[in-house]
Homo-oligomer: A and B are copies of this chain.
Amino acid sequence: MSNYHVAVVGATGAVGQQMLRTLEERDFPIASLKLLSSKRSAGKVVSFKGKDYTVEEATPESFEGVQIALFSAGGSVSKTLAPEAVKRGAIVVDNTSAYRMDPNVPLVVPEVNEEDLRAHNGIIANPNCSTIQMVVALEPLREKYGLKKVVVSTYQAVSGAGLEAIDEMKQQTKAILDGEEFTPEILPVGGDKKHYQIAFNAIPQIDLFQENGYTFEEMKMINETKKIMNMAELEVAATCVRLPVETGHSESVYIETEQGGATVAEIKELLASAPGITLQDDPANQIYPLASECVGKNDVFVGRIRHDLDRDNGFHMWIVSDNLLKGAAWNSVQIAESLVKLKLLS
């Protein structure tokens, strides 16, 4: 097996840091590693496999000789620099929303549509965190029973909004416990007009609102699910909610399968043996997925699987995963591993 020239763009961010830990842990075959960032973070020293790397400012020239570049530095950086990287021969795995709905860009969750990687034109998009964990759980069901309808309500962690949002949550929490004043400044959305208390609260807004009353986060879940599963006709609806949880997204998902007749026992068996899934479903012993227990693990955890009481083809489940891992860094590294496996990296 060859080793590859790798670049990580956004190496000092929450996801970038996690990407480095995941590359270490997976022992990804690295010939050389370049850590890139904005001008602001350039010069920082980051350790990888016991060796210190100085973070450099990302420029078009940074990508000379790079074979694979993992981007997680915001959509505008990807828009500007991903084509420059591709021009210089790199394959880009982009963790922003910049290219996800581009028809020329595969949007990939390896457990679901790894083969779509073959059609890449240099850029591969990593889906939104809340979408990834859901489609991993849905795919085995789609394959066996067909899938007609999905209604999801999310319980999302603040780390999806970055390190500053985590700080804000902790500061606010402390202020409330101490009976002190505070002014929300970041959440729900750094770039929006108003900010609300996240500590001891639940905010039904993630990302900005669209004209149709849905947020961009909700539309990402809807559109990306259809694209990844290659099912334009799938009915998908989402309500996305931010919680005072540091890391670990939870999702309450209602589905209707095409075919009736499935039992909960069959579904549990199916999901227990599906790739990337850990079944945690034993109500009698209070076993179900918890955000607090998924942190640092690559899998998607599924439990609380119940038959709808009215529709034979209806099921409910609870899906939890580490939004920084399967929702971001791990899925990106997994795409890199799939590129190696499919011999798509040159």
Q: Which residues of A contact B (CB under 8 A)?
A: 149, 151, 153, 155, 170, 173-174, 177, 188, 192-194, 196-197, 200-205, 209, 212-214, 222, 235-237, 239, 241, 243-246, 250, 252, 254, 264, 283-286, 288-292, 303-311, 314, 316, 318
A204 close to B316 (CB less than 8 A) = no
A290 close to B200 (CB less than 8 A) = no
Residues of B contacting A318 in the complex (Cβ-Cβ under 8 angstroms): 204, 239
Do A286 and B192 form a contact, CB below 8 Å, given A222-B309, A291-B201, A291-B202? Answer: yes
User: What's the least CB distance linking A226 to chain B, in Å?
Assistant: 11
Number of copies of this chain in the oligomer?
Answer: 2
User: What's the least CB distance linking A332 to chain B, in Å?
Assistant: 25
B202 close to A306 (CB less than 8 A) = no
A286 close to B205 (CB less than 8 A) = yes
Residues of B contacting A284 in the complex (Cβ-Cβ under 8 angstroms): 209
Do A304 and B213 form a contact, CB below 8 Å, given A237-B310, A252-B153? Answer: yes
Residues of B contacting A241 in the complex (Cβ-Cβ under 8 angstroms): 155, 250, 252
Residues of B contacting A197 in the complex (Cβ-Cβ under 8 angstroms): 290, 292
A239 close to B304 (CB less than 8 A) = yes
B245 close to A151 (CB less than 8 A) = no
Complex-state Cα separation, A24 to B283, whole angstroms: 43
Residues of B contacting A285 in the complex (Cβ-Cβ under 8 angstroms): 193-194
B306 close to A204 (CB less than 8 A) = no
Complex-state Cα separation, A107 to B235, whole angstroms: 36
A286 close to B194 (CB less than 8 A) = yes
B235 close to A204 (CB less than 8 A) = no
A283 close to B213 (CB less than 8 A) = yes
Would you mind naming 25 contact pairs between A and B with Cβ atoms under 8 Å apart?
A153-B252, A155-B241, A173-B173, A192-B286, A197-B292, A200-B292, A201-B245, A201-B290, A204-B250, A204-B289, A204-B290, A204-B303, A204-B318, A209-B283, A209-B286, A212-B307, A212-B309, A213-B264, A235-B310, A237-B309, A237-B310, A239-B316, A239-B318, A244-B244, A252-B252
The 8 closest A-B pairs by CB, nearest first: A153-B252, A153-B153, A235-B310, A209-B283, A213-B306, A239-B252, A201-B292, A194-B286
User: What's the least CB distance linking A9 to chain B, in Å?
Assistant: 30
